Amino acid sequence: MKFKAFHIIILVLGILSVSCQKEQETATFNAQEKRISTFVTTQLSADTSFRAIYKNGTTRLVVKKGSGDSLSASGTVSFYYAGYIFSSTTITASNLFSTNYKTLADGASWALSDTTAFNILTLNMKNTDFLEGLKRALPGVKGGEECYILFSGKYGYRKRQVGTIPANSALAYHIWVESINNE
């Protein structure tokens, strides 16, 4: 009888622990979404030509309009990017974790011997092997568009630490769209 009660207590404690972890994770993501909202509001106030597009938990802040067709959910997009850990209400070079944009890398004093790191990135939206936040926010971009795509850790790497990116981190991607193809 004591053995059974002990197992029930352990089970209840385990359930409570998981519940607390989920609540903490939700609170973390909510705080990140508030910081993203503050950043976007500040940017929109600073430049009235900027436009914010909210899609499925992501925000795309368009800082330079593109032209032509919009990327479809099954199209292909080619772009340069800079990825940042979004840990405050600003985006700074100190939070840069990845880029394929040579000018930006040089400005951040990144010395890379592998120049292939600066090749344009092309993603097929049918591919499922990239971040959920990007997959949700990229449809609708146009060739020539410059934007920021921001999302909480919920749509990033979640509980996984990847390189220098801590688990559950909010992310911001500065994107320079070169071209799209919806064929």
Q: How far apart are CA 1 and CA 15, in angstroms?
A: 21
Total count of residues recorded for the chain: 183
| pTM confidence score | 0.86
Cβ-based neighbour number of residue 117 at 10 Å:
14
Q: Return the SS3 of 67.
A: strand
Q: Convert the pLDDT of each residue in 92-129 to its tens digit.
A: 888 999 999 988 888 888 877 777 888 999 999 998 78
Distance CA 108, CA 94 (A): 8
pLDDT reading at 51 higher than 80: yes
Domain boundaries, the chain: 2-181
Q: In which residue are the tokens 């004093």 written? A: 109
Candidate from 29-43, 69-83, 101-115 with smallest mean pLDDT: 101-115
Query: 2-181 has which fold?
Result: Chitinase A; domain 3 (3.10.50)
